[in-house]
Amino acid sequence: MNASGPGYPLASLYVGDLHPDVTEAMLYEKFSPAGPIMSIRVCRDVATRRSLGYAYINFQQPVDAERALDTMNFEVIKGRPIRIMWSQRDPGLRKSGVGNVFIKNLDDSIDNKALYDTFSTFGNILSCKVVCDENGSRGYGFVHFETHEAATRAIETMNGMLLNDRKVFVGHFKSRKEREAEVGARAVEFTNVYIKNFGDDMDDDRLREIFSKFGKTLSVKVMTDSSGRSKGFGFVNFEKHEEAQKARGSSCPSAVSDMNGKELNGRLLYVGRAQKRLERQSELKRKFEQMKQERVSRYQGVNLYVKNLDDGIDDEKLRKEFSPYGTITSAKVMTEGGRSKGFGFVCFSSPEEATKAVTEMNGRIVSTKPLYVALAQRKEERKAILTNQYMQRLATMRALPGPLLGSFQTPSGYFLPPMPQPQTRAAFYGPSPVVPVRPGTRWSAQPSRPPSTPILRAAVPPRRLLSNISTTRQASTQVPRVPPQAQRGANIGTQTVSARVPSSALPRGAQQYKYSSSARNMQPMGHMPPVVASQMGEPAVHVQGQEPLTASLLAAAPPQEQKQMIAGERLYPLIHVMHPSLAGKITGMLLEIDNSELLLLLESPDSLRSKIEEAVTVLQAHQSTETPHK
């Protein structure tokens, strides 16, 4: 039990029920009067860095920790009473349940402190908690005593007592498995029967008359509303289990076996074992999970996801397009308000047919749009895959050496939080000088360190940005070999011009500056083209206001983002300048080409222009063939 290290007694406290905004500084200010503190740690989520609602405080002396536990438990911080207990690092002791007491039927006014004060007379309490939700107390709680004897005394004294005029139940804590086992044992020997669907003309006497032939009834009740009208269900409690349910091997009739499914006044009765609400919900949940797993296994490998569908494609057209590849059991285009959402599903009778359809139909143009076809995935599977890819990228970023990270380094001990993909690019950022990573504005959760090479970022309006796109290859240069320390310093005075923005493209009245590596300020000057650093020795596609796109940058991105980086961020703007009305369709057609070939096209304006004209010709020919049929 040495929290501080070998040979030192326990001096660590667990502080729970914290407000999400509580920080280490607040806790230090609160607990420092109790004695010298060695460390404070608020536990946070790895990805979001949000507080998990609890913290650990390590004191230098156990007596100081004990003083804080005795005097500060249940004090309020940011509107919430905190809960303090000794930190127990052995999970076996925490989960054993020895000395743990369960209390239910608590009044809403009883909180953690009131429960602690009530049970503290029976022995030393390690932990005390009333379970709450957003609406307040849920009516039950737990008290964990230091010894089993103290827990037994509390149960013997308090079970059945009145707390705030409510009779409470106090008993030993039982795990979920133990409770489920007890419920299963009681279910075998049930005597209480649930009856429903008998209409609103049933009363207690008539229900007793119907079921009394099966044995002696202890109670009969038809549930009614406020006006006394039957709700259509009720309960019958028999004296013996055999009377409620036929014993195995017995030939005598029973209430459940004889009355379940029997017609009464034109209605089919349901008669079964009476269940508590939680038990019934748990059973229904298990059934739904079983049905879900059966459905998943039945459609595994045969259900296809199809997206980028034309608005004119409906269920029949989708089935017709995929029918040559096998027997289709279902084809559905997802709609909203009668309009297609652009994706759907096609289910085949065998995995072989589905695989053939993916091979043949993925990327094929149907109604002027290239289809994306793949095996359908459940939302949970897709979310797990995306999370895994993000964590891999995050680990790669953190594994890069410090000098390479440049302006993307974050404070030690923090993780980069996930950031949403912006729909449009801001007009005031440019490429990183060294590392091919995403623009700085995508990683804005922590303040970034300025890059080692000064970069002038041009404030170019998005509309004018399209007319100033250019591609270039950097000529290889011979530079002398220098040590890494000297190389970083040598890069300060080196800048490579990859794109120039004419002064007319800048916003009117925009101030331009020149930067000096030896000065801390910016000096205004006349119109000056922006200086953008490019990657050394690797061909790159440069678009003003965006980072250079290289093969290495493209390969480092997840597969689902590669096409977006090429199409949405670079290819579409170029096509939109030439053919605004057909830009979307032409972009979709060109996406069939491999990524490496698309990079070459982006570097060669003439080749790209030729490909675009070919696509326009195909579209015009396709439209001309469809016109006579309309």
565-579 per-position pLDDT tens digit: 665 667 778 888 888
Single-letter residue type at 140? Y
Q: 212 — phi, psi (to 5°)?
A: -70, -20
Three-state DSSP at 524 gives strand
Instruction: Give CA 442 to chain center in angstroms.
Output: 19
Report the C-alpha gap between 101 and 143 in whole angstroms. Answer: 5
Task: Indicate the pLDDT class of residue 127, thresholds 50, 70 and 90.
Answer: confident
The tens digit of pLDDT for each residue in 328-338 reads 999 999 999 88
User: Where is average pLDDT lowest: 11-15, 75-79, 389-393, 417-421?
Assistant: 417-421
Query: Is residue 629 predicted with pLDDT exceeding 80?
Result: no
User: What would the CATH number be for the domain defined by 12-181?
Assistant: 3.30.70.330
Which has the higher per-residue pLDDT, 148 or 454?
148
In order of 282, 287, 539, the CA distances from 290 in angstroms are 12, 5, 54
Amino acid 546: pLDDT: 55
Which helix (H) or strand (E) segment holds residue 204: the answer is helix 204-211
Please count the other Cβ atoms lying within 10 Å of the Cβ belonging to residue 307: 14
Amino acid 431: pLDDT: 41
Q: Are 299 and 351 within 8 A, CB to CB? A: no
The tens digit of pLDDT for each residue in 599-614 reads 777 778 888 888 888 8
Tokens of 365: 């143009």
Amino acid 368: pLDDT: 84
How much is the average pLDDT of 351-362? 92
The tens digit of pLDDT for each residue in 80-92 reads 889 998 887 777 6
* Domain ranges (residues) in the chain: 12-181, 191-273, 299-376, 429-443+453-472+529-630
- Residue-averaged pLDDT of the chain: 74
Three-state DSSP at 238 gives strand
Q: What is the DSSP letter of 549?
A: B
Q: 356 — phi, psi (to 5°)?
A: -65, -40
Which has the higher per-residue pLDDT, 35 or 255?
35
Single-letter residue type at 390? Y
Q: Which of 468, 456, 451, 362 is nearest to 406 (CA)?
A: 451
Single-letter residue type at 429? Y
SS3 content of the chain, % helix, strand, coil (to 5): 40, 20, 40
The CATH classification of domain 429-443+453-472+529-630, taken from the options 2.40.50.140, 3.40.47.10, 1.10.1900.10, 1.10.10.10: 1.10.1900.10
In order of 428, 573, 625, the CA distances from 137 in angstroms are 51, 57, 71
Three-state DSSP at 318 gives helix
Amino acid 292: pLDDT: 83
Topology agreement, domain 299-376 and domain 429-443+453-472+529-630: no
Single-letter residue type at 10? L
Report the C-alpha gap between 43 and 350 in whole angstroms. Answer: 49
Q: Which of 305, 306, 346 is nearest to 327 (CA)?
A: 346
How much is the average pLDDT of 507-523? 41
Q: Which CATH class is domain 299-376?
A: alpha beta
Q: Helices 351-361 & 315-322, crossing angle to 10 degrees?
A: 100
Query: Is residue 171 predicted with pLDDT exceeding 90?
Result: yes
Task: Indicate the pLDDT class of residue 242, thresholds 50, 70 and 90.
Answer: confident
The CATH classification of domain 191-273, taken from the options 3.30.70.330, 3.50.50.60, 3.30.390.10, 3.10.310.10: 3.30.70.330
